[in-house]
A and B are shown apart, each in its own frame.
Chain A
Amino acid sequence: DAGITQSPRHKVTETGTPVTLRCHQTENHRYMYWYRQDPGHGLRLIHYSYGVKDTDKGEVSDGYSVSRSKTEDFLLTLESATSSQTSVYFCAIRVGQGAEGYTFGSGTRLTVV
């Protein structure tokens, strides 16, 4: 979707293992976001980045870390996956300065067993 690639698209992992999800953009947009989507909660912001090595927490950041060493890549890491982190994870970019420019990837479905 609109130059955003999320990988993997699906993953099953065991409780306690580390997991890294990748978001790649083909353009040089400054802002990138990680959301999780759960029934009854909509999409909730985990972390976001406003530049290389510049990141900040969202409303549900506990248990997650992020890194952005290149403009085009934003990584989300679950250091020790738990069943409560079973969810669909969406990456988004913001095109331009305004809020009209949010564009979402196709998501990663993560299952922690």
Chain B
Amino acid sequence: QQQVKQSPQSLIVQKGGISIINCAYENTAFDYFPWYQQFPGKGPALLIAIRPDVSEKKEGRFTISFNKSAKQFSLHIMDSQPGDSATYFCAATTIYGNKLVFGAGTILRVKS
């Protein structure tokens, strides 16, 4: 049973478009929700993260939207670029927890 459900599995977006990836969780004890970006042959790297006390966090072209009541959060990539083509993982944990739980991943391809 996957504790964090991620969709879609893959996504193709035109350059300059908006990429949207969605995640949902069940465990209400989670209080830290990071997104990781992974390029081929590399390990995942932290992209952006949010705590549930805010509904939105923005860093450059990347925005996390968080809906605590629905237990959902999403990543928006504005003005998507070919260099954003990668696999994106949402994750969840408690801020001082020992275990990071990942979604299944989304393969993003940005067409130039």
Contact = CB atoms under 8 A, between A and B. Distances in A.
A52 B46 CA distance: 26
B93 A99 contact: yes
Interface in A18-68: 31, 33, 35, 39-45, 48, 50, 56, 58
A45 to B, nearest CB: 6
Nearest to B32: A99
Given A41-B104, A42-B6, A100 B44 contact: no
B49 A100 contact: yes
Contacts of A98: 32, 95-96
Contacts of A105: 43
A42 B104 contact: yes
A104 B49 contact: no
B6 to A, nearest CB: 7
B101 to A, nearest CB: 8
Given A41-B104, A100-B49, A102-B46, A48 B41 contact: no
B18 interface: no
Contacts of A100: 32, 34, 46, 49
Contacts of A33: 100
B43 A90 contact: yes
Chain B binding surface SS class: loop
Which of B34, B43, B104 counts the most A-chain CB atoms under 10 A from its CB?
Answer: B43
Contacts of A31: 98
Given A98-B96, A99-B100, A42 B46 contact: no
B61 interface: no
A41 B99 CA distance: 16
A106 B43 contact: yes
B41 A106 contact: yes
Interface of B: 2, 4, 6, 9, 32, 34, 41-46, 49, 89, 93-105
14 contacts: A31-B98, A39-B105, A42-B103, A43-B89, A43-B102, A58-B99, A90-B43, A90-B44, A92-B100, A98-B95, A99-B32, A99-B94, A102-B34, A104-B45
